[in-house]
């Protein structure tokens, strides 16, 4: 199967867990809770998205709209199918798993009062969602997530790393007399 270029998806609540995992991997997946297939197809046509669905049904009126059918009973199998078929629009941890907006890198100073103090003091990378404002950081939870993706995909996954530690402070060299 030839892979699709970076693909933006739209899906319904039946694939909410799959949508969340795909967002964590870097896919742009819009979730329309309670939408019928025809409503998803209309949204996909209007917004240039591909419908991600469990349904094998395809109304003739929407034949030109791209669809990718996946099973919904096993989220891991569905994620594997999407990753095999399409390229994500960003890297892992580049989109909000809650609302799908892009994440932006933030400084520990900006995080004051937004994240636990130990997280800000640790000095690792921090991100916040440009949509809902949720904060994200690397920790044991993201390591477990990376391991989950590697187990599902059967291969290593490139993952955001902590920035290198700051260089030690050295006093300026005094000019020679």
So where are the chain's domains? 4-87, 103-153
Torsion sign over Cα 105, 110, 111, 117: positive
For the chain of 177 residues, list the mean pLDDT of each consecutive stretch of 10.
80 96 97 95 96 93 94 92 94 95 91 90 89 94 95 93 45 51
Cα separation, 100 vs 90, in Å, equals 12
CA proximity to 97, closest of 59, 124, 127: 127
Q: Where are the alpha helices (DSSP H) in 8-166?
A: 16-25, 37-47, 75-85, 117-122, 140-153
pTM of the predicted protein model: 0.85
């Amino acid at each position: 199967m030839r892979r699709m270029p970076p693909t933006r998806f739209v899906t319904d609540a039946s694939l909410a867990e799959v949508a969340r995992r795909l967002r964590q991997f870097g896919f742009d997946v819009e979730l329309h809770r309670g939408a019928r297939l025809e409503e998803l197809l209309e949204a996909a046509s209007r917004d240039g998205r591909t419908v991600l669905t469990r349904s094998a049904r395809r109304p003739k009126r929407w034949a030109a709209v791209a669809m990718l059918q996946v099973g919904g009973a096993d989220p891991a199998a569905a994620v594997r199918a999407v990753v095999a078929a399409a390229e994500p629009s960003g890297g892992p941890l580049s989109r909000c798993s809650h609302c799908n907006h892009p994440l932006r890198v933030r400084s520990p100073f900006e995080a004051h009062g937004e994240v636990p103090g130990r997280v800000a003091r640790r000095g690792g990378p921090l991100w916040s969602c440009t949509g809902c404002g949720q904060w994200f950081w690397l920790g044991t939870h993201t390591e477990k997530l990376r391991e989950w993706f590697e187990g599902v995909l059967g291969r290593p996954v490139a993952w955001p790393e902590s920035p290198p530690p700051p260089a030690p402070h050295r006093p300026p060299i005094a000019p020679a007399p």
